[in-house]
Amino acid sequence: MNVGTEWLVDAEGCSADRLCDLDAVRSLCEEVITALDLRVVGDALWHRFPEPGGVTGLYLLSESHLACHTFPETGIATFNLYCCRPRPPFAWDERLRSALDATRVTIRTAIRGSEAETDYALFETHLRELDATSEVSSR
Amino acid sequence: MNVGTEWLVDAEGCSADRLCDLDAVRSLCEEVITALDLRVVGDALWHRFPEPGGVTGLYLLSESHLACHTFPETGIATFNLYCCRPRPPFAWDERLRSALDATRVTIRTAIRGSEAETDYALFETHLRELDATSEVSSR
């Protein structure tokens, strides 16, 4: 039994300043929520850690959850979006490039539930090189 | 740059009553937190949905996050544990069998960060058939 799809999104090359800007990262998460018509239950949890000042946000959704962590020391932001009802894809690479200055975005999907053990084929990595000087690859 | 490891844990065949029991599921999550010496930031988010009464819990951790969703209608519970500092493995299959009556537990790991695009080999599924009448497989 499939109990949802999870997107694991990893963005590299991001602006450290953007990754420390809790309001900017929160705004991006709320854009995801609005774009996919997700329903937030209660108040989101947000925290800004001490220097180098990464942030974490967690949203409890009717559809499951959205989580975000930023690592300004490495220019990386990671997102988990777990939806137990079908949702269209979000334009992660376009929006993370624009909002966080990401140069590369990796999107993996995982089926949750009893199909997990056969999920090798379904666990696809979609890699887009956003740096035009690098080779564009996808798989 | 590796910014952590995530465990995606899917348990099947669970007792519907256990999956509706928020206190029991919370107790299990708190056992994970204690066993792995994780540090919770702020208050956890917990919610019990209307009938059939699944529950969701989210913990913001210094190490990243722990999320749990239960689906009593299908006997499934799913967990995400994302740790940006190395942690030993938790005894998921033993504990989920004991606490939730799970008959099968699938554990996948995903490396987060810029190694994500080469993570095919690292994204391993460890499947243990807890039903002794079934074939034991692992990969």
pLDDT digits (tens, 9 = 90+) for A103-130: 999 999 999 997 765 554 334 333 333 3
Whether the CB of A85 is below 8 Å from some CB of chain B: the reply is no
Tell me the shortest Cα–Cα distance from A30 to chain B, in angstroms.
18
Q: Which residues of A touch B104 (CB under 8 A)?
A: 114, 117
Res A130: pLDDT:
32
pLDDT for A14-40, tens place per residue?
999 999 999 999 999 999 999 999 999
pLDDT for B38-68, tens place per residue?
999 999 999 999 999 999 999 999 999 999 9
Whether the CB of B45 is below 8 Å from some CB of chain A: the reply is yes
Looking at per-residue confidence, does B86 or A18 come out higher? A18
Structure tokens given for A93? 């690479």
Interchain proximity B108–A106, CB inside 8 Å = no
Whether A1 shows a pLDDT value over 90: the answer reads no
Tell me the shortest Cα–Cα distance from A14 to chain B, in angstroms.
12
Res B132: pLDDT:
30
Whether the CB of A121 is below 8 Å from some CB of chain B: the reply is no
pTM over 0.80? The answer is: yes
Whether the CB of B136 is below 8 Å from some CB of chain A: the reply is no
**Diameter over CA atoms, chain B:** 44
What is the CB neighbour count within 10 angstroms for residue B86? Answer: 9
Q: Which residues of A touch B112 (CB under 8 A)?
A: 8, 10, 78
pLDDT for A50-95, tens place per residue?
999 999 999 999 999 999 999 999 999 999 999 998 999 899 999 9
Tell me the shortest Cα–Cα distance from B103 to chain A, in angstroms.
11
Res A121: pLDDT:
36
Structure tokens given for B122? 């690292």
Model confidence at B130, pLDDT cuts 50, 70, 90, reads very low
Q: Whose structure tokens read 């990262």?
A: A25
Whether A139 shows a pLDDT value over 80: the answer reads no
From first CA to last CA, the distance across chain B in angstroms is 26
Dihedral, CA of residue A32, residue A69, residue B70 and residue B28, to nearest 10: -160
Res B114: pLDDT:
76
Res A126: pLDDT:
35
Prediction ipTM score: 0.85
Whether the CB of A108 is below 8 Å from some CB of chain B: the reply is yes
